[in-house]
């Protein structure tokens, strides 16, 4: 491998390790004397714990100890809330429940044994005597008088009421020319399925009183901080290591009960302990995503001008407030309700509601997919209502292109974008006019084709810390980097964000390589160990490159400045005349006077001939806190065919034009888009978490939770526009979530388009075969009834 | 996802295996490919005290043409069925159904005998064998008997097999000249089991349907012959109208036991059964020439 450049599709350097089974995940951590733990979990949605009999478990082979919630109550503390809202209710969230269980899977006891099998066998022998309480799973119903109450401190189960807006929606719709279209839209609950489930190994050093947690997380530094705050364990004695992490999609972005319990239990039994989550366990104990019930209306005029949107949202929080749960359905949702449109009037109310379900928090896109889905579904719904083409309506309302900041109705400042440019490029690739002709022809042959469009914008690059703090963030959201050049000129860098599939080891090395002219294979990228480097916030919200990459870029500039000064000194030239290209310092117009950066690094350590005042060594640190967020945007188009007989939906074509700002590694960005679109198609067509009214999970395994599979996707046609972001020095925006945000509205708009001629106007996700078939049946039935009524009127 | 404790035996002969079943009668389960039993054990829905793994017994995996028909060893995998030229030539619907069971890993391990013995209400193989006809050879330590496939599936996850018996072979009859076959399935999006699957074996002679066997899986509590559908087809020319009318009765036998779950209501299942019965019969009729 040679020196890499910015914009080159460098192959992922981590892949040979990861795809040949030589990665090191939490389950690969095997420590001397390590014991295993298993959790006893509630089988009910809501119940009072009358008593727990652990005697049979204690006597079971290999068992070292059994702890109930009551046993550890004092040491475990309560799980934290990382984002404040005005009047947010924060009921205590014990890592092990000791009085009441509030959702299926709520942990009540933990068993420690020599092997994982013994721990699981013994866990099955723990006898919990429950008094079953009435449960509630629907967020809207939970707010009604008389609904089962989860927490005394949250009357009507309301965790928070929040609102945002701009303009005056109420005034705008008084105009007699304004048409208001209303829908009730449900954004169904999703269950994250990272390839590696969660897991933790806790290693207690009795001599020093230190604890090391190996955990499958997106936020090792925050886990360290939060673990320390919750348990009172001195922060300098806590080390958190995120080894290779096999996916997360947001679900590994919190401090979890199991991490706290493992640490405390390790101290009790004075042995390292390991817990690896099973997939069935993950379905109830790892945070879920989405779950919105929304009354929405969009208002506009017959000529296609949209004047506003109004949203009243019940956001399901689950049984407790997970670490970032207050942020997701509020700022990350409400601020995005203008989409890429002028949308002069916005009114949004959000009710966060407790229910007897697994806590809900960020899931790929986190708030923005829910917002984009509402906006894009309703813009198409409005176009259908006024009988105009959805493309025409979008174009009429789109914001003009801008390069440096545009304030929108919700008060935020979009950074840069050419929204119509995205649309035009996508239409050009797609050949929209031809499709409409094909669609008509196909319909005559009994084939139902539909096209769906989604023009989205989303908020990334979190975040300007002062802004985030004023909105409720419990921690700064900057990133850090440390660049160390060794005496041989090789480099080791430490970054504050650690990957769970994104390819940081490649892209960060690529950035170093392109700036310093060092070959990629000479650069070691370290991450995910809190003892190795200074604080970092974590990998989420498509922020690693926009914030962490920018921090790294700034460290590299410092390295360049120091090496430039040293090289000039060594070359005995005025720095003004010393150039630096491709790893080589040269003096202008003097061919033989050069030094490689490797030679300069060696001299920095030899320290035999440093300029006056220069310290030896070559290591630089930077902290980057952005001035604004970054705002990726784009237009996606999707074609589906609906089977007349069965209602089955097949995605036939998918075109995506995205503006991710400058793109460091196009191959990796394409891969993220593919994955994101796949996930969005999954939500649109098949995925759904389904609870019974008493809180049992019917979609409790991969046998019933329908993840999308490869046969559901066409080859995706990807292209880009580039509006560099002014929010960071490298002009990048972030690409991890965009596909998910755009795909579900694009697919659903296509499904509706395919059957709109029958009279279908809306359908909630997922568009399962039965739902589509039923919508067609109902629409045909309604038509028949209409015709019959018309006939009887005539006669 | 950890099973309960169990004792594990790996016999190397049918005699040894059946002896173990007699010795641990009531406690023991036979482990074939393991793709139905092991998931149930991991969820602790099944907690057998003894597992008798018949995977180490030589001579249970074969496809033989004999007496005009074909005999299939019970440990023959889906993959072997799907790729066998004998199966492809004689019972194309069995090859086709086997190729579409679950995923490659399951097809490499799952067996025809295991599928029949487990009798999953949404299994593909039970319906296909019902439509072909034939018998299941069941052996105990002392005896062997042939169970007619029409009497084999008894109820949900229940067959005519006794708990000391092992399926050693499936005997399929030769299909008459002019017979066409097809299997049409609508799969559940998560598990890829059949929400409904319809197997049709249709014989046409001189433009008239002389014999028809149609079986439905997924819709009810077990794979079931659609006898009313068969009666409509027999003796008639297989026009679009006849096929449509026959297909419309395909769910009749399972009307009272239609499954209903988060993936398909009873009403939708009945509808899909009719749709796929139409597809299967039409394809089988076309293949019959």
CATH classification at residue A758: 3.30.365.10
From A597, A624, A651, the end of a domain falls on: A624
Task: Label residue A592 by pLDDT band (50, 70, 90).
Answer: confident
Nearest C-alpha in B relative to A698: B262
- Residue contact A768–B263, C-beta within 8 A: yes
Question: What are the tens digits of pLDDT across the range A464-473?
Answer: 999 999 999 9
Q: Taking residues A221-240, what's their average pLDDT?
A: 97
DSSP for chain B, please give it: --PPP-EEE--SSHHHHHHHHHHTTTTEEEESS-TTHHHHHHTTS---SEEEEGGG-TT---EEEETTEEEEETT-BHHHHHH-HHHHHH-HHHHHHHHTSS-HHHHHH-BHHHHHHHT-TT-HHHHHHHHH--EEEEE-SS-EEEEEGGGTEEETTEES--TT-EEEEEEEPPPPTTEEEEEEEEE-TTT--EEEEEEEEEEEETTEEEEEEEEEESSSSS-EE-HHHHHHHTTS---HHHHHHHHTTTTGGGGGG----SS--HHHHHHHHHHHHHHHHHHHHHHH-
Query: C-alpha distances in angstroms, B263 versus A432, A450, A778, B97?
Result: 34, 24, 19, 21
| pLDDT at position A558 over 60 | yes
**Is A525 within 8 Å of A503 (Cβ atoms)?**
no
Q: List helix spans (H) across A143-256.
A: 169-172, 220-231
- Residue contact A116–B262, C-beta within 8 A: no
Share of chain B above pLDDT 90, in %: 90
The answer to whether position A401 is within a domain reads yes
Q: What is the DSSP letter of A544?
A: I
The answer to whether position A172 is within a domain reads no
Residues A638 and A702 in one domain: yes
The answer to whether A707 faces chain B, any CB pair under 8 Å, is: yes
CA distance B26 to B49: 9
Residues A674 and A776 in one domain: yes
The answer to whether A645 faces chain B, any CB pair under 8 Å, is: yes
- Residue contact A646–B1, C-beta within 8 A: no
From A624, A649, A683, the end of a domain falls on: A624
Residues A279 and A293 in one domain: no
Residues A507 and A412 in one domain: no
Nearest partner of A251 among A540, A542, A676, A499, judged by Cα: A540
Q: Taking residues B270-285, what's their average pLDDT?
A: 98
The single residue listed with the structure tokens 């030229």 is B85
Residues A530 and A641 in one domain: no
Residues A502 and A578 in one domain: yes
pLDDT score, position B253: 86
pLDDT score, position A591: 81
CA distance B38 to B52: 13
The single residue listed with the structure tokens 């092991």 is B38
Packing angle of the helix pair A550-570, A504-516 (nearest 10 deg): 30
| pLDDT at position A231 over 90 | yes
Query: C-alpha distances in angstroms, A648 versus A254, A281, A415, A713?
Result: 37, 31, 40, 14
Interface probe with A: pick from B122, B218, B247, B268, most Cβ of A within 10 Å: B268
Query: How many residues in total does chain B contain?
Result: 289
CA distance B122 to B193: 6
DSSP for A604-644, please give it: HHH-SSPPTTPPSS-EEEEEE--SS-B--EEEEEEEEEE-T
Closest chain A C-alpha to B279 CA, distance in angstroms: 11
B-contacting residues of A 278-337, CB under 8 Å? Answer: 278-281
Question: What are the tens digits of pLDDT across the range A160-181?
Answer: 999 999 999 999 999 999 999 9
Q: How many domains does chain A have?
A: 3
Query: How many residues in total does chain A contain?
Result: 795
Which positions in chain A touch B5 (Cβ < 8 Å)? Answer: 121
Task: Label residue A648 by pLDDT band (50, 70, 90).
Answer: very high
Question: What are the tens digits of pLDDT across the range A708-755?
Answer: 999 999 999 999 999 999 999 999 999 999 999 999 999 999 999 999
Residues A293 and A276 in one domain: no
Residues A76 and A104 in one domain: yes
**Is B189 within 8 Å of B263 (Cβ atoms)?**
yes
The answer to whether A692 faces chain B, any CB pair under 8 Å, is: no
The answer to whether position A158 is within a domain reads no
What number of helices (H) and strands (E) belong to chain A?
21, 28
- Residue contact B268–A699, C-beta within 8 A: no
Question: What are the tens digits of pLDDT across the range A339-397?
Answer: 999 999 999 999 999 999 999 999 999 999 999 999 999 999 999 999 999 999 999 99
Q: Taking residues A591-602, what's their average pLDDT?
A: 94
Question: Domain residues for A101?
Answer: 31-133+195-247+252-285
CA distance A537 to A547: 10
User: What is chain B's mean pLDDT, rounded?
Assistant: 95
Mind listing the domains of chain B with CATH numbers? 7-56 (3.30.43.10), 63-172 (3.30.465.10), 180-288 (3.30.390.50)
Task: Label residue A590 by pLDDT band (50, 70, 90).
Answer: confident
pLDDT score, position A256: 98
Q: What is the DSSP letter of A530?
A: T
The answer to whether position A596 is within a domain reads yes
Nearest C-alpha in B relative to A768: B263
Task: Label residue A766 by pLDDT band (50, 70, 90).
Answer: very high
The answer to whether position A297 is within a domain reads yes
Give the HSE-up count for residue A644: Cα atoms under 13 Å, Cβ half-sphere. 10
Residues A570 and A509 in one domain: yes
Nearest C-alpha in B relative to A117: B2
Q: Taking residues B78-93, what's their average pLDDT?
A: 98
B-contacting residues of A 750-779, CB under 8 Å? Answer: 768-770, 773-774
Looking only at the bridges linking them, the beta strands covering A345-354 and A306-318 are: parallel
Q: Taking residues A584-603, what's their average pLDDT?
A: 94
Q: Taking residues B178-196, what's their average pLDDT?
A: 96
- Residue contact B272–A702, C-beta within 8 A: no
**Is A622 within 8 Å of A554 (Cβ atoms)?**
yes
Q: Taking residues A424-430, what's their average pLDDT?
A: 97
From A583, A602, A624, the end of a domain falls on: A624
Residues A715 and A774 in one domain: yes
CA distance B43 to B89: 40
CA distance A358 to A87: 23
Residues A570 and A680 in one domain: no
Angle at A310 between CA A157 and CA A139, to 5 degrees: 20
Burial class of residue B178, CB neighbours in 10 A (0-12, 13-18, 19+): middle
Which positions in chain B touch A40 (Cβ < 8 Å)? Answer: none
Give the HSE-up count for residue A438: Cα atoms under 13 Å, Cβ half-sphere. 12
The answer to whether position A182 is within a domain reads no
pLDDT score, position A528: 96
Nearest C-alpha in A relative to B269: A770
The answer to whether position A423 is within a domain reads yes
- Residue B64 phi/psi, 5-degree rounding, is -125, 135
Task: Label residue B44 by pLDDT band (50, 70, 90).
Answer: confident
CA distance B184 to B108: 22
Q: Taking residues A118-123, what's their average pLDDT?
A: 96
User: What is chain A's mean pLDDT, rounded?
Assistant: 97
* CA-only gyration radius of chain A, Å: 28
pLDDT score, position B160: 94
Question: What are the tens digits of pLDDT across the range A495-538?
Answer: 999 999 999 999 999 999 999 999 999 999 999 999 998 899 99
Two tokens at B71? Answer: 């005999």
Residue B56: which residues within 8 A CB-CB, separation 6 or more?
Answer: B10, B11, B12
Q: Taking residues A675-679, what's their average pLDDT?
A: 97
- Residue contact A121–B263, C-beta within 8 A: no
The answer to whether position A10 is within a domain reads no
**Is A663 within 8 Å of A672 (Cβ atoms)?**
no
**Is A37 within 8 Å of A281 (Cβ atoms)?**
no
Closest chain B C-alpha to A122 CA, distance in angstroms: 10
Residues A503 and A618 in one domain: yes
The answer to whether A715 faces chain B, any CB pair under 8 Å, is: no
* CA-only gyration radius of chain B, Å: 19
Which positions in chain A touch B191 (Cβ < 8 Å)? Answer: 702-704
Is the torsion defined by CA of A306, A312, A314, A315 positive or negative?
A: positive
How many residue pairs from chains A and B have C-beta atoms closer than 8 A?
56
Chain B residues bordering chain A (beta-carbon distance below 8 Å): 1-2, 4-5, 39, 43-44, 186, 188-191, 261-265, 268, 271-272, 275
Share of chain A above pLDDT 70, in %: 100
Interface probe with B: pick from A199, A688, A706, most Cβ of B within 10 Å: A706
pLDDT score, position A553: 98
Nearest C-alpha in B relative to A648: B186
**Is A442 within 8 Å of A449 (Cβ atoms)?**
yes
Interface probe with B: pick from A197, A688, A704, most Cβ of B within 10 Å: A704
pLDDT score, position A1: 54
Q: Taking residues A401-405, what's their average pLDDT?
A: 94
CA distance A348 to A162: 8
Nearest C-alpha in A relative to B191: A703
Task: Label residue A128 by pLDDT band (50, 70, 90).
Answer: very high
- The domain spanning residue A240 has which CATH number? 3.90.1170.50
**Cross-chain CB nearest to B1 (options A280, A690, A774):** A280
């Amino acid at each position: 491998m040679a020196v890499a450049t910015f914009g080159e599709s460098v192959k992922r350097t981590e892949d040979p390790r990861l795809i040949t089974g030589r990665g090191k995940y939490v389950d690969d951590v095997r420590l001397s004397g390590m014991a295993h733990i298993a959790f006893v979990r509630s089988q009910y949605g809501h119940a009072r714990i009358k008593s727990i009999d652990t005697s049979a478990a204690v006597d079971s082979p290999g068992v070292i100890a059994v702890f109930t919630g009551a046993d550890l109550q004092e040491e475990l503390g309560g799980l934290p809330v990382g984002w404040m809202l005005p009047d947010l209710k924060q009921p205590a969230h014990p890592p092990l429940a000791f009085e009441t269980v509030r959702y299926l899977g709520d942990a009540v006891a933990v068993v420690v044994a020599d092997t994982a099998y013994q721990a699981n066998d013994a866990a099955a022998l723990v006898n919990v005597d429950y008094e079953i309480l009435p449960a509630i799973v629907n967020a809207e119903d939970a707010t009604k008088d008389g609904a089962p109450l989860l927490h005394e401190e949250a009357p009507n189960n309301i965790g928070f009421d929040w609102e945002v807006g701009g303009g005056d929606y109420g005034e705008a719709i008084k105009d007699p020319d304004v048409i208001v279209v209303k829908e009730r839209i449900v954004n169904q609950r999703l269950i994250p399925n990272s390839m590696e489930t969660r897991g933790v190994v806790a290693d207690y050093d009795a001599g020093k009183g230190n604890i090391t947690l190996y955990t499958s997380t997106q936020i090792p530094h925050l886990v360290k901080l939060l673990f320390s705050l919750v348990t009172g364990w001195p922060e300098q004695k806590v080390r958190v290591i995120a080894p290779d992490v096999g996916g997360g999609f947001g679900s590994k972005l919190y401090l979890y009960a199991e991490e706290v319990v493992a640490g405390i239990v390790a101290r009790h039994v004075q042995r390292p302990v390991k817990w690896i989550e099973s997939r069935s366990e993950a379905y109830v104990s790892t945070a879920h995503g989405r779950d919105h019930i929304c009354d929405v209306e969009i208002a506009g005029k017959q000529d296609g001008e949209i004047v506003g949107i109004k949203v009243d949202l019940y956001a399901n929080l689950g049984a407790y407030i997970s670490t970032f749960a207050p942020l997701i359905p509020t700022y990350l949702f409400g601020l995005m309700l203008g989409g890429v449109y002028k949308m002069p009037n916005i009114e949004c109310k959000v009710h966060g509601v407790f229910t007897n379900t697994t806590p809900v928090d960020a899931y790929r896109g986190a708030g923005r997919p829910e917002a984009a889905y509402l906006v894009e579904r309703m813009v198409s719904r409005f176009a259908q209502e006024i009988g105009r083409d959805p493309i025409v309506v979008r174009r009429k309302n789109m914001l003009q292109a801008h390069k440096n900041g545009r304030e929108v109705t919700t008060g935020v400042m979009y950074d840069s974008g050419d929204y119509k440019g995205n649309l035009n490029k996508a239409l050009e690739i797609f050949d929209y006019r031809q499709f409409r002709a094909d669609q008509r022809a196909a319909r005559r042959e009994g084939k139902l084709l539909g096209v769906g469009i989604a023009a989205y914008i989303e908020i990334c690059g979190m975040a300007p810390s002062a802004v985030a703090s004023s909105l409720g963030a419990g921690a700064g959201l900057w990133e850090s980097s440390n660049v160390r050049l060794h005496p041989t000129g090789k480099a080791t860098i430490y970054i504050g964000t650690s990957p769970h599939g994104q390819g940081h080891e490649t892209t960060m090395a690529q950035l170093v390589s392109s700036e310093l002219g060092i070959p990629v294979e000479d650069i070691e990228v370290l991450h995910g160990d809190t003892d190795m480097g200074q604080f970092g916030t974590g990998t989420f919200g498509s922020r690693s490159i926009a914030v962490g990459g920018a921090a790294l870029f700034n460290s590299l500039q410092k390295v360049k400045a120091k090496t430039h000064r040293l090289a000039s000194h060594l070359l005995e030239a005025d720095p003004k005349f010393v150039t630096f290209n491709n790893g080589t310092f040269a003096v202008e117009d003097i061919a033989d006077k050069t030094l490689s950066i490797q030679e300069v690094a060696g001299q920095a350590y030899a320290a035999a001939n440093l300029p006056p005042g220069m310290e030896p060594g070559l290591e630089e640190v930077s902290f980057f806190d952005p001035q604004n967020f970054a705002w990726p945007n784009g237009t996606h188009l999707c074609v589906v065919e609906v089977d007349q007989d069965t209602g089955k939906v097949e995605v036939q074509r998918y075109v995506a034009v995205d503006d991710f700002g400058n793109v460091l590694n196009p191959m990796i960005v394409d891969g993220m888009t593919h994955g994101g679109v796949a996930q969005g198609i999954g939500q649109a067509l098949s995925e759904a978490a389904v609870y019974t009214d008493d809180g049992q999970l019917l979609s409790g395994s991969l046998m019933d939770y329908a993840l999308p599979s490869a046969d559901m996707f066409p080859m995706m046609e990807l292209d880009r526009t580039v509006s560099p972001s002014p929010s960071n020095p490298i002009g990048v925006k972030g690409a991890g979530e965009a596909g998910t945000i755009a795909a579900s509205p694009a697919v659903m708009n296509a499904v509706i388009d395919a059957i709109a001629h029958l009279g279908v106007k809306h359908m909630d996700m997922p568009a399962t075969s039965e739902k589509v078939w039923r919508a067609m049946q109902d629409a045909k039935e309604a038509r028949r009834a209409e015709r019959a009524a018309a006939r009887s009127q005539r006669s | 996802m950890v099973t309960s404790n169990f004792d594990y035996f790996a016999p190397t002969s049918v005699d040894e295996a059946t002896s173990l079943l007699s010795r641990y009668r009531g406690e023991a389960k036979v482990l074939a490919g393991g793709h139905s039993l092991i998931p149930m054990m991991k969820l602790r829905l099944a907690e057998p005290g003894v597992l008798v793994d018949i995977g180490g017994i030589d001579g249970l995996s074969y496809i033989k043409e004999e007496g005009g028909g074909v005999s299939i060893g019970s440990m023959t995998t889906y993959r072997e069925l799907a790729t066998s030229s004998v199966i492809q030539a004689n019972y194309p619907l069995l090859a086709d159904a086997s190729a579409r069971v679950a995923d490659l890993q399951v097809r490499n391990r799952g067996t025809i005998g295991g599928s029949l013995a487990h009798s999953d209400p949404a299994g593909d193989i039970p319906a296909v064998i019902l439509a072909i006809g034939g018998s299941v050879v069941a052996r105990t330590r002392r005896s062997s008997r042939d169970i007619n496939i029409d009497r084999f599936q008894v109820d949900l996850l229940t067959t005519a097999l006794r708990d000391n018996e092992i399926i050693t072979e499936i005997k399929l009859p030769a299909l008459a000249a002019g017979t066409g076959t097809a299997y049409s399935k609508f799969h559940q999006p998560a598990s890829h089991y059949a929400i409904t699957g319809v197997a049709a074996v249709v014989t046409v002679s001189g433009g008239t349907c002389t014999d028809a066997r149609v079986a439905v899986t997924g819709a009810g509590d077990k794979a079931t012959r659609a006898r009313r559908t068969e009666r409509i087809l027999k003796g008639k020319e297989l026009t679009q109208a006849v096929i449509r009318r026959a297909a419309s009765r395909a769910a009749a036998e399972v009307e009272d036991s239609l499954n209903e779950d988060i993936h398909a209501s009873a009403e939708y299942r009945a509808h899909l059964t009719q749709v796929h019965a139409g597809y299967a019969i039409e394809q089988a009729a076309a293949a019959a020439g």
